[in-house]
Amino acid sequence: MAEKLQKRSDILTSARALFKENGFHNTKMEDIAQRAGVGKGTLYEYFKNKQEIFDETCIEYVELILEKVEEISRMNISFNEKLLILFKKRKNSMYEDFEKSPIDYIMSYKNIISEKVVKRLFDHILDMNKIMIEIINQGKEEGVVRKDIPSEIIACFVVGTLGEYFNLKMYKQESEFNEEELIFNLLFKGFSVK
């Protein structure tokens, strides 16, 4: 059973890399099988067609992000520490398989993904927002986040900032200063002169 799950995961990882490199239309089932190190017949044991593989790569990746955000939310650390970890994880590992944010990537293929899969993806995104709201509420309980602003609005700012920071990092070299802390301070303390 574990071997079958691993083979399925290898197929999806290989397919995601090929979709990134070649696009959906230029990726063939043979390419996926070869990259995954399986026969084409084995590929069809796991998936009906390329469409199903693509859908599953998107779902699997969003689920991976959700798992990492959940993991961070369960850590027994402060709100500030959780937020900094979110920025660092986002930059360092969460999206290495995509040339742009996974949501942008998925939405660029929205005409290919079935409505059922899009709904499932957005359900996961809503779950991530709920987790972010829990993290924001922790900050309110710690007395470091303003209580007069709805947690949902603050979560939008945090998630939006995370996404745009990631997009910026995709096209920019490393800086000599600690960007995560700078972004965190801008988000957390604002940028107006007091």
> pLDDT 10s digit of each residue in the chain, 194 long?
788 888 998 999 899 888 888 888 899 999 999 999 999 999 999 999 998 998 888 888 788 888 888 999 999 999 989 988 887 765 444 445 544 455 555 656 666 777 778 888 888 888 988 999 999 999 999 998 889 989 999 888 888 877 777 666 666 655 554 666 666 677 767 654 44
Specify the pLDDT at position 106.
60
Domains along the sequence of the chain with CATH: 1-47 (1.10.10.60), 49-189 (1.10.357.10)
Q: How far, in Å, CA of 191 to CA of 194, rounded? A: 9
User: Within 10 Å of residue 113's Cβ, how many Cβ atoms?
Assistant: 20
Q: Which two tokens stand for residue 59?
A: 């779902």
Measured torsion, CA atoms of residues 28, 33, 34, 39, in degrees rounded to the nearest 10? -130
Q: How far, in Å, CA of 43 to CA of 37, rounded? A: 10
Q: How far, in Å, CA of 172 to CA of 135, rounded? A: 29
For the question of whether the overall pTM of this predicted structure is more than 0.75, the answer is no
Q: How far, in Å, CA of 12 to CA of 60, rounded? A: 8
